[in-house]
């Protein structure tokens, strides 16, 4: 892969003609929602998913569009492994619901637990993590605060959670400087919890600042918010830190990009947060990408299983008003991508640099 490669960007009429907008229900509330909307794009290499969360602005959302176009018009890089280890994800549910949530994932060796939920306390977090440890005494545990704590709260909470044997804590506070401060304070107190950067990587203008600032022990990367699989691979290589691949509550179409990223990384020391398909009550494919024995398959099987079913696309299609909303968002984000690189607009797959896989 060359850093000078120019990604494909079809023109707007081609994208709009390829778009299907769906809404699927979740099994539990996640990030404050019980349904997930996504715009799916069908291209010559397969399908891509454009589903930035509703509160994201056009500049940030445009990277999700670049990722969807890469998947559908270029395909994914060749994998270096046939399967990807996956962790279970436990939302900020009451401790009593933890066994039910974990049962949906089947056998797993690692679990990510959401903490720092608005309106909840550190005691709620401790109870949830304790419940996971009770169900899975030997699993690797990591917690994800999504930047929800202040520095003092993070240090206090992680001090209470560390006895459960945390593998790492993901984005305990907002920003790169906050992460660096928490990491230094934990080290000074002798609290052996690794820090993983997530939002600080994908929201920063310069994702590599995390590594340069010594703010994290590892980075969490998501294909869509970073602009696609190839761009995420570049960031991991340049950062020089271990990486965990995670998803963004995607349908199986979007999850395929995350699996392709994890399958293409030279090293993969941690189980990946790609099991969120188990949090969907329904999906747009007939054989959803949910972990089997703690793993997801890559390669040709991944492409086949991420192909939406026409009947399910029709069943979960949004009403006309919501489709219009997503098409308008697509147009604005397309304009952002063209403005960043005016030479990209209107390229077709035949104009690209070739050598793509994924079909």
**Binding-site residue ranges for Mg(2+):** 144, 170, 198
Active-site position among 36, 222, 230, 334:
222
Helix, strand and coil in the chain, % to nearest 5: 40, 20, 40
Contact 265, 236 (CB under 8 A): yes
Phi, psi (degrees; rounded to nearest 5) at 280: -90, 130
Output the known binding site.
144, 170, 198
Active-site position among 36, 42, 114, 133:
114
Contact 22, 313 (CB under 8 A): yes
Helix (H) / strand (E) containing 214: none
Q: How far is CA 313 from CA 41, 71, 265, 279, in A?
A: 12, 18, 31, 19
Give first-to-last CA distance, the chain, whole Å: 18
Maximum CA extent, the chain: 58
Q: Which two tokens stand for residue 228?
A: 């696609």
Q: How far is CA 219 from CA 198, 216, 222, 279, 343, in A?
A: 6, 7, 10, 23, 32
DSSP characters for 146-177? TT-S-HHHHHHHHHHHGGGTEEEEE--SSSHH
| Token pair 């934990």: residue | 186
| 112 counts as catalytic | no
| 222 counts as catalytic | yes
Give the catalytic positions in this structure: 114, 222
């Amino acid at each position: 892969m060359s850093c000078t490669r120019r990604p494909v960007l079809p023109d707007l009429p081609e994208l709009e003609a390829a778009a299907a907008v769906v809404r699927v229900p979740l099994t539990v509330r996640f990030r404050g929602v019980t349904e997930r909307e996504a715009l799916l794009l069908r291209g010559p290499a397969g399908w891509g998913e454009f589903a930035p969360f509703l509160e994201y602005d056009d500049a940030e959302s445009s990277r999700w569009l670049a990722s969807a176009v890469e998947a559908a018009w270029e395909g994914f890089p060749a994998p270096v492994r046939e399967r990807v280890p996956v962790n279970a994800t436990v939302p900020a549910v009451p401790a009593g619901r933890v066994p039910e949530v974990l049962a949906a994932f089947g056998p797993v060796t690692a679990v990510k637990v959401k903490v720092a939920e608005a309106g909840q306390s550190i005691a709620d977090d401790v109870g949830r993590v304790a419940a996971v440890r009770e169900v899975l005494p030997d699993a690797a545990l990591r917690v994800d605060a999504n930047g929800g704590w202040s520095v003092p709260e993070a240090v206090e909470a992680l001090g209470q959670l560390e006895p459960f044997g945390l593998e790492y804590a993901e984005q305990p506070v907002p920003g790169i400087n906050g992460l660096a401060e928490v990491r230094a304070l934990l080290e000074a107190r002798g609290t052996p919890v690794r820090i993983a950067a997530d939002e600080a990587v994908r929201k920063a203008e310069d994702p590599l600042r995390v590594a340069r600032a010594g703010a994290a022990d590892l980075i969490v990367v998501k294909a869509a918010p970073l602009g696609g699989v190839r761009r995420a691979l570049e960031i991991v290589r340049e950062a020089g830190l271990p990486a965990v691949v995670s998803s963004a509550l995607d349908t199986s179409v979007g999850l395929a990009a995350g699996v392709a990223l994890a399958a293409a990384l030279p090293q993969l020391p941690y189980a990946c947060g790609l099991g969120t398909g188990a949090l969907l009550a329904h999906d747009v494919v007939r054989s959803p990408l949910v972990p089997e024995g703690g793993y997801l398959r890559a390669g040709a099987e991944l492409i086949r299983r991420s192909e939406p079913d026409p009947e399910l696309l029709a069943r979960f299609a949004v009403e006309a008003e919501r489709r219009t909303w997503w098409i308008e968002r697509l147009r604005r984000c397309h304009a952002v991508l063209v403005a960043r690189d005016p030479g990209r607009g209107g390229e077709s797959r035949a104009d690209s640099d070739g050598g793509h896989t994924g079909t």
